[in-house]
Amino acid sequence: MDSQTADAPAKAAAASPSGDGAGVHLPRNPGIELDLDWALGMEANTSAIERRCASLPGRRSVKKDHQAAWLLKAITCIDLTTLAGDDTEARVRRLCAKARQPVRAEILSQLGMEGITTGAVCVYHDMIPAASRALHGTQIPVAAVSTGFPAGLSPFHLRVEEIRESVRAGAREIDIVISRRHVLSGNWQALYDEMKAFREACGEAHVKAILATGELGTLRNVARASMICMMAGADFIKTSTGKEGVNATLPVSLVMIRAIRDYYARTGFHVGYKPAGGISKAKDALVYLSLMKEELGNRWVQPDLFRFGASSLLGDIERQLEHHVTGAYSAGYRHPMA
């Protein structure tokens, strides 16, 4: 990322935390008819992808004020998440308070960036009412994981009804999980039909399709699954549930991002991208933002088209911003999530 141009898109998006960083409401991706010739023609050159990704962290770095601007940008793109079996309403309320005030007020004041928030709060279905109450009066959407998260192996009609229940409960974004077996067995029609049904059940709520890329076997499968889900109307494609053995990686991200680019070039519809699982350091967030900027341009580093699925990431970003302002690092326990 060129440090001379790094500030502008980051500051513009941070100043518009509602998710519309470019000031334009984009039409949703309505999907298209299944085009198997296009989808099955997608390939992935693994060695070239890995070389490209290996070079990125050392070749693209930002420092000082530019780094602070991009870290503020990253905050606005976080889906602040709690998906634990011991979640309570009190934990969700604390997480929502952090989403509303992600960095200490005095730090944001010194940076001239008061009022920024995270992109969304992501919870299980049962926690939607608590999150909605805690976020009342803000523009921060509640996102809910659905469709038998994380395995996606519950009966199909129950997965569809789970989406509807979450939308009725107040979720404005739904993170669904696809059936990995459709990808592994090459049943692309079944994947398309499933994704299309999930999209229809979401109604006005935006749908993020979780591919669980660590379980798809090959980068070629990742590319094809990405394209099929976009054809079926996904608003976002997302790497992982965070529960797999391998979650977000740069090679997987590059494959998915280029599928998004190909889909946009042919259809004119924007689809968002969400890496999730294992992104916990501020420096990692900068690398992902660099990749998005280089491959898709500034429009795709706005919160309506890019999100991190994360929780601990925010704590490290806050710690780095405090260091930028004060010159000293604080202890990690001073930046709790929930």
Element housing 176 (H / E):
strand 173-177
Using CA atoms, how far apart are residues 199 and 174, in angstroms rounded to an integer? 9
Retrieve residue 116's tokens: 């920024």
86 counts as catalytic: no
Out of 11, 98, 196, 238, which one is annotated catalytic? 238
Task: Point out which residues pair with 208 in neighbouring strands.
Answer: 175, 236
238 counts as catalytic: yes
Q: What share of the chain is helix, strand, coil (3-state, %, to 5)?
A: 50, 10, 40
Using CA atoms, how far apart are residues 11 and 106, in angstroms rounded to an integer? 18
Out of 274, 293, 304, 316, which one is annotated catalytic? 274
Out of 73, 79, 98, 175, which one is annotated catalytic? 175
Query: Edge-to-edge, what's the strand order for the sheet holding 142-145?
Result: 272-274, 236-238, 206-210, 173-177, 142-145, 120-123, 78-81, 308-310
| Burial class of residue 190 in the structure, from the number of CB atoms within 10 Å of its CB (0-12 exposed, 13-18 middle, 19+ buried) | middle
73 counts as catalytic: no
Could you list the active site residues?
A: 175, 238, 274
